[in-house]
Amino acid sequence: MLRTVKLCLMGFGNVGQAFIHLAERKKDQLEKDYGVNFIVTAIATGRHGRAIDPQGIDTAKAIALVQKKQSLDSLSKERAPRDIREFIIKSQADFLLENSPVSYKDGEPALTHIRTALENNMHAVSANKGPVAHGYKELRDLAKSKGRHFLFESTVMDGAPVFSVVRESMLSAEILGFEGILNSCTNLIIGLMEEGYTFDEAVEYAQSIGITETDPSGDIDGWDAAIKVALLATVLMGEPIKPQDVAREGIRDLSATEAQQALKDGGRWKLVCRAEAEDGIFTARVAPEIVPPTSALYSVNGTSSIVIFHTDVLPGLGILESNPGPDTTAFGLLADILSILNKEK
Phi, psi of 243 (to 5 degrees): -55, -35
Task: Work out the percent of the chain whose per-residue pLDDT is above 70.
Answer: 99
CATH 3.30.360.10 maps onto the chain at 167-321
Task: Work out the percent of the chain whose per-residue pLDDT is above 90.
Answer: 92
Residue 23 has pLDDT above 80, yes or no: yes
- Tell me the catalytic residues: 228
Condensed to tens digits (0 to 9), the pLDDT of residues 99-152 reads 999 999 999 999 999 999 999 999 999 999 999 999 999 999 999 999 999 999
Give the number of other CB atoms < 10 A from CB of residue 135.
20
Condensed to tens digits (0 to 9), the pLDDT of residues 242-273 reads 999 999 999 999 999 999 999 999 999 999 99
For residues 80 and 97, the answer to whether their CB atoms sit within 8 Å is: no
Condensed to tens digits (0 to 9), the pLDDT of residues 164-216 reads 999 999 999 999 999 999 999 999 999 999 999 999 999 999 999 888 866 78
Residue 92's identity, in one-letter code, is Q
CATH 3.40.50.720 maps onto the chain at 3-159+326-344
pLDDT score at 210: 81
Residue 335 has pLDDT above 80, yes or no: yes
Q: Which CATH number fits domain 3-159+326-344: 3.40.50.620, 3.40.50.720, 3.30.710.10, 3.40.50.300?
A: 3.40.50.720
pLDDT score at 262: 98
For residues 232 and 266, the answer to whether their CB atoms sit within 8 Å is: no
For residues 317 and 311, the answer to whether their CB atoms sit within 8 Å is: yes
- ∠ CA(144), CA(155), CA(43), 5° rounding? 80
Condensed to tens digits (0 to 9), the pLDDT of residues 216-230 reads 899 999 999 999 999
Q: Give the residue among 42, 32, 26, 23 at the shortest CA–CA distance from 3.
A: 32
Whether domain 167-321 has CATH 3.30.360.10: the reply is yes
pLDDT score at 215: 79
How far, in Å, CA of 84 to CA of 239, rounded?
Answer: 32
How far, in Å, CA of 100 to CA of 111, rounded?
Answer: 10
pLDDT score at 323: 85
pLDDT, averaged across the chain: 95
Confidence of residue 345 (pLDDT cuts 50, 70, 90): confident
